[in-house]
Structure 1
Amino acid sequence: MTGPATLWTPPESAFTDSAMARFAHAQGLDPRRYDELHAWSVTDRSAFWSALWDFTGVLGEQGDVVEQAPDPAALGGPDELPSLRHGHMFGTRFFPRGRLNVTENLLRGDGDRLAVVAADETGVRGRLTLAELRGRVAAVQAGLRDRGVRRGSVVAGIMPNDVDNLVTMLATLSLGAAWAGCSPDFGVPGLVDRIGQVHPAVVVAAESYVYNGRTFDVRGKAEEVLDRLGHPTELVLTRSAAWESDFTGRAGADGQPTFERHPFDTPGLIMFTSGTTGLPKAIVHSAGGVLLQHLKEHVLHGDVRPGDVHSWFTSTGWMMYAWLVSALAAEATVVLLDGSPTPKRDGTPDHGHLWRIAEQARITHFGTSPAYLSGLMAAGHHPAEHHDLSALRSVLSAGAPVSPEQYDWLYTHVKQDMVFASISGGTEIHGCFQLGSPVHPVRRGEITCLALGHAMAVLDERGAPVVGVKGELVCTEPFPSMPLTFLGEEGLRRYHDTYFAERPDLWTHGDLAELTPRRSVVIYGRSDTTLKPQGVRIGTAEIYRVVDARAEIADAVVFGHSCGTDEDVVLCVVPAAGSALTADLAASLRTDIRTQASPRHVPAHVFAVPAVPVTHNGKKAEGAARAAAAGLPVRNRASLANPECLAAYEALFAATPAEATP
């Protein structure tokens, strides 16, 4: 079967030694026939998820029921959620009689093994064995228990990616309570929008954090947040006297945490959406569902083995933080990366920072983002030339589509003998719908395969499944990491309306995608930012692919702007240092977009802007740019890391624009 260039091919040993192969063989299936394994995983779901539980060695009791159909009465009745009368997906429960403790599973294994490598802008700062990590969790668990934290409670964190954050999250989950993590770089309004929805019993915050060599205060805004919450909540500051005396300075009788097992669907993680279209949604995920989902992704798809070392540059408020931490359950070491990924040294970004840590920590699985890769490419940094990456077996990327050119760069300038996995899913499912695999070839520009346990399809405008054509990505069968609900008034109704209202009983994910004849996937961007010039749907990723390849452009954002009954494509670029957006550059960009994408992708307007609006997780906020350019309110500016840049977008069409070319 023809297709894009193959950049990596699995060795013969992958079909016998990888966890994916061993799991397939255990079910009597051939790992070379992945389509059959995948079909079994989505048709005999109870058998698949039960087999996964056993194969990954989950500590706990499954119970005698794996999948239980939804009970409309328990979810508000057919009058409130009418689609339940005709469907089985929304509200399906997995392991309704199962019991486990997430932290017990994350802290299992030999106490002498290395569990954590802590790094900051200076490099690797410390290491913890599993026994040492257990001792710290036991101490904080006791402190939280003394403050009344128990199953049903919520603990919120405002901390950087350090050991204190990890320990507090694990201690919270060990008690059956839910964890709501927030990045400390959020402003007060953004923190209030999030923490105000969860009514935490305790808020644990750092006193400060460091980014690019600068120290930023957290204590002051944490205190202001609590003043605004309007309900009694205790604030505990890490490294304070109270923290030392009541938390880290104490432990249980034997220095070990206790592990009461809780129902599988006990709320465990509360994740917040980006919030650029309104108040961030507070999505409640079950502890068991997330654990099982992550074990599937790490052990089977990622081939993470005991003793491996896994990193991901992430904030504590992004879903990838908990995803990384879950690698502990695969008995891997996790690397906590605090600070900037490219801290400035004498005023110059240090593009080798994360790769030095990879070398020092012997990282086997290196997690990153397309934005970070673009920065390395633009800077001409070639990690393989400067660092010993012999331990590296896989690079993974999430957060946005990866361009084919970035695939080329990785295999040319990082390592040839490795698996590159672009993974795609989201906060909503706390996992991946499509990702990598040790038994598949890596093809240029494509996400390798559909995830086991997820019945995926791409639908055209008729609602018919299509192959080789762009359409709406949907999931047609239930899975354990579906949210329990959204917090707040009419949470179930809002949850249902977000994913099921458009297509009853089908999860509509909101991605414009293409399922290839090879059963790989290409993501073209979010459906809500899909461009529709002349009524034809096109994805922003196809334009970014072209623009990101230009050294003269440091960053860019694409959005649609209403033009009568049609829509114009608008391209806003941030020129690289020493470059400027000239008429010639704008014309050259249009030519490249026309030839490498299509005439419909060619922007009607090309503007220079000082910055691209991004969320605190570093994602482009295309909707915010579009609303500002249209003169519309940008809802929840607090979700943006740089809302001040929107003034430039508000001015684009407010008067005669000084654009490069008409």
Structure 2
Amino acid sequence: MYDYASYVERAYGVTAPDFSALHTWSVNHLGDFWRGVWDYFDVIASEPGDEELTGETMPGAQWFPGARLNYAENSLRAAATRPDEIAIIGEYEDAPARHMTWSELESQVASVAQRLRDLGVEPGDRVAGVLPNIPETAVALLATVSVGGVWSVVNTDFGPEGVADRFAQIEPKILFTVDGYRFGGKLRDMTDSYAPLREVLPTVEQLIVIDQQPRDTVGELPADALRYSDLIAQRAEPNYEQVPFEHPLWILYSSGTTGKPKGIVHSHGGVTLEFLKALGLHAGLGPTDVAYFAVATTWMVWNMSVGILLTGATIITYDGAPTFGGPQKSLELVAKNNATFFGTGAGVLTMIERSGVVPNVHQDFSALKSILVTGSPLPDTTWDWVYESVSEDVRLGSDSGGTDITSAFMGSNPYQPVYRGELQGPYLGADVQAWNGQGERVWDEVGEMVVTKPLPSMPVYFWNDLDGSRYQSAYFGVFPGVWRHGDWVTQLNSGPFVVHGRSDSTINRGGIRMGSADITQVVDRVAGVSASMVIGAELAGGDYYMPLFVVPEPGTNLSEELRETIVATIREQISPRYVPDEIIEAPAVPRTRTGKLLEIPVKKLFQGADANSLNRATAEDAEVLDWYARTAHDYEKRQTRPAQ
């Protein structure tokens, strides 16, 4: 970032002695800033475009019209200059690590891309994956976008219904998956999942299986399936489809409180520039770095971890349980590989801290320069623990962003000091502010996080949102023309931010968002359940509480057997990630007079809101709402009761 500041001083004649000055210039001169990122990192493009930005209206701003490029080509540029250096280190639970050089990565991408072309994949066609965090998943992504296809992936812990909720709507032509994977010391055979997956995804014309397990340990593959090992054995020359700046790159998913998960579409150009800024400038990554993000493929941060290849750094993938061999597994991988950068969800560090492990007693973290924490606020005690038990020399940064922009809005930078519990400031190019309900900017008080000017990585559209109404409602329905993200934040008068959590009812487990309706619609189909409601409450100290309220069928109660069935159903049909912290029998679910669930008011109760703040007049049954207020109060008393 210091070097970039020197570059813009020379190129644009501006003076940027500190981060505040650099940020102010970046948001007041958006076109120059983003063209500066393009030129500084020497983005590869067949056409650079005549202008950077056509207006600043949101939504509707057009970035780099006329430009043509390819995200995969930019990701693999190091293959030309450093072919024999390591691009990806693949780590596993109990198998030796595998090292893939830049030339090997480029070769595999080229081979898979050619086979996709042979199978009829054309620009705009969707290719999906049910895959773990392995090097081949990165190859599948890059091969797909090499041909102009649109990528989408979920982790292998998703059941067919969870997969269908996401992929059925985008109608993929090709499906990648694995023959099996190891998790928690056990081999999980995936071959039995192929038929159910193809049943819920009828548009899939070809199944491609990444065959990484010994053949005698997993079931037989379907006769028409293609083996990944056969694909990469057929050599091909790299060929990167040149697409418009806003051509779809991948589809990520985010949910509100009702309906199917929204398919959020990002672009080749927007993601390329955003990742170069976030990972190259803010994280400071480059060819001499080794980076590890502890992520599952469902999380947006996995896409960001693959995006590190844009900077020329080496990335580490890990296929396995995050606590295999002990709670400190992630940090062991960091030390083993002399990683210079570690990215993780706040919950991972908190879990290690609470286990009592002191990693730096047994591990060497002298190579580690920075840790980036995201997904949720980091508790104060964990901030201190990192410096005491990992490294006192590391730069610990907490970032906050979202699937919506596949990056961060605010977080760390190399200029400013780090203070416990604070995010150093907004990202360059992001005009982030805190607003009150009247649309006025506020300082030193809780407000809605908004972005007042466009970013190139804002979604190009939502899938199947033909008139743009869902896009408009999701971000611009509260403050017209201004992006409202749905986070409560405080911007301190000195510049940094404090993030308080979601201002809506989205469930956020370790940074992976899930609509509450995605969970309750599955629970409600369990025999014995009349209705249900789930909330996710961010609590003081960085804790997260996710209770599921269940209304049993009339004349019955919430038996232990019914609890076990609900848990098993969530595990199988959605993901083990969304098993609730507690299942509570409720008299009814609270609704407004128009039938809308009162999830947000109940969430606020569990976050400490006064019961008197409830608008009982809007409730269909005020006594039901009172029951939830009493339950939240009882929960609070349980949490504050001193240990005996």
- Tell me which interval the TM-score lies in, with the shorter structure as reference length: 0.7 to 0.9
| Deviation by residue 1:339-391 (Cα, 9 ceiling, x = unmatched) | 11111x4xxxx123222221221101101111111111111112211111111
User: 439, 443, 446: which one pairs with 1:467?
Assistant: 443
Letter in 1 for 2:128: A
Match of 2:289 in 1: 308
Q: Distance in 2 between matches of 1:616 and 1:610?
A: 10
User: Partner letter of residue 66 of structure 2?
Assistant: R
- Higher RCO (CA-CA < 8 Å; seq separation 6+): 1
What is the 5 A alignment of 1:544-623?
A: 544-545=541-542, 548=543, 556-557=545-546
Give the match for residue 275 of structure 2: 294
Shift of 1:426: 0.3
The number of equivalent residue pairs is 543
Match of 1:351 in 2: 327
Question: For 1:99, which of 68, 71, 85 is the aligned residue?
Answer: 68
Does structure 1 residue 251 correspond to structure 2 residue 227? no
Distance 2:145 2:305 in 1: 16
Distance 1:169 1:420 in 2: 30
Match of 2:144 among 159, 165, 172: 172
1:420 counterpart = 2:420: no
1:634-649 equivalent positions in 2, closer than 5 A:
none
- Asked if 1:33 is matched to 2:18, the reply is yes
Q: Tell me if the contact between 2:147 and 2:240 (Cα under 8 Å) persists in the aligned partners.
A: yes
Q: Residue 218 and residue 358 in structure 1: after superposition, are their counterparts in 2 closer, same or farther (change >3 A)?
A: same
1:190 partnered with 2:174: no
Q: 2: CA distance between counterparts of 1:289 and 1:629? A: 48
Cα deviations across residues 536-581 of structure 1 (Å, max 9, x unaligned)?
A: xxx9545244xx5xxxxxx7448999xxxxxxxxxxxxxxxxxxxx
Q: Equivalent residue for 2:35?
A: 50
* Counterpart residue number, 1:392: 368
Assess, with a 3 A threshold, how the Cα gap between structure 1 residues 301 and 282 changes in structure 2: closer, same or farther: same
Instruction: Give the one of 60, 64, 68 matched to 2:54.
Output: 68
Asked if 1:320 corresponds to 2:315, the answer is: no
Q: Structure 1 pair 308/234, CA: closer, same or farther in 2 (3 Å)?
A: same
Match of 1:481 in 2: 457
Cα displacement string for residues 270-322 of structure 1 (whole angstroms, at most 9, x for unaligned residues): 00115664311111111110111011001110011212011111111211111
1:136 partnered with 2:108: yes
| Mapped partners of 2:228, 2:281: distance in 1 | 40
3-state SS of paired residue (1:269): strand
Deviation by residue 1:491-517 (Cα, 9 ceiling, x = unmatched): 621111111111110000000001111
Distance 1:362 1:277, change over 3 A: farther
Match 1:90 to one of 39, 59, 63: 59
For the residues of structure 1 that align with 2:436 and 2:579, how far apart are their CA atoms?
26
SS of 1:203's partner is strand
Could you tell me how far apart the structure 1 residues matched to 2:163 and 2:9 are? 45
Q: TM-score, normalised by structure 2?
A: 0.78
Alignment of 1:148-547 (within 5 A): 148-231=120-203, 233-239=205-211, 242-244=226-228, 247-252=231-236, 256-273=237-254, 277-343=258-324, 345=325, 350-490=326-466, 492-529=468-505, 541-545=538-542
SS at match of 1:184: coil
Change (3 A) 1:455 1:442: same
Q: Deviations over 1:77-126 (max 9, x none)?
A: xxxxxxxxxx8110211011111111111111221221000002237511
Preserved contact between residue 219 and residue 237 of structure 1 (Cα < 8 Å): no
Deviations 1:392-431 (A, max 9, x none): 0000111111122221111111111121111111001111
Instruction: Note closer, same or farther for the CA distance 1:223–1:308 as it changes in structure 2 (3 Å cut).
Output: same
Q: 1:293 to 1:628 in 2, by over 3 A?
A: farther
Which consecutive unaligned segments of at least 5 residues does structure 2 have? 212-220, 507-535, 551-565, 597-623, 639-644
Distance of aligned partners of 1:455 and 1:617 in 2 relative to their CA distance in 1, 3 Å threshold: farther
SS at match of 2:457: coil
Deviation string, structure 1 residues 609-635 (Cα, Å, up to 9, x no partner) = 999x9985958989x9899896379x9
Rounded to whole Å, the distance in 2 between the matches of 1:309 and 1:459 is 39
Question: Contact 1:21 / 1:439 at 8 angstroms: preserved in 2?
Answer: no
Contact 2:123 2:148 in 1 (8 A): yes
SS, match of residue 443 in structure 1: coil
How high is the TM-score relative to the length of structure 1?
0.76
CA gap 1:275/1:215 in 2 versus in 1, 3 angstroms:
farther
- Residues of 2 paired with 1:352 and 1:542: CA distance? 24
Q: Deviations over 1:462-507 (max 9, x none)?
A: 2110010100000011110010111125462111111111111000
Go from structure 1 to structure 2 and tell me whether the alpha carbon gap of 1:160 and 1:289 turns closer, same or farther (over 3 Å shift). same
Would the aligned equivalents of 2:432 and 2:450 in 1 still touch at CA under 8 Å? yes
Which amino acid in structure 2 is aligned with residue 201 of structure 1? K
For 2:97, the equivalent position in structure 1 comes to 125
1:218 Cα offset (Å): 2.8
How far apart, CA to CA, are the structure 2 residues paired with 1:427 and 1:617? 21
The amino acid that maps onto 1:63 is G
1:34: how far off? 1.6
- Aligned-residue RMSD, C-alpha: 3.4
Partner letter of residue 297 of structure 1?
Answer: A
Query: Which whole-Å deviations, capped at 9, do the CAs of 1:523-545 have from their partners, x for residues lacking one?
Result: 10000159xxxxxxxx9545244
Letter in 1 for 2:454: P
1:116-174 per-residue CA deviation (whole Å, 9 max, x = no partner) reads 00002237511111001111111111111111112111100111111221111110011
Identical positions, percent: 33
Contact kept? 1:124, 1:360, Cα under 8 Å: no
| Equivalent residue letter for 1:411 | Y
Structure-1 residue corresponding to 2:529: none
3-state SS, counterpart of residue 376 of structure 1: helix
Q: Is the 8 A contact 1:20 1:301 kept in 2?
A: no
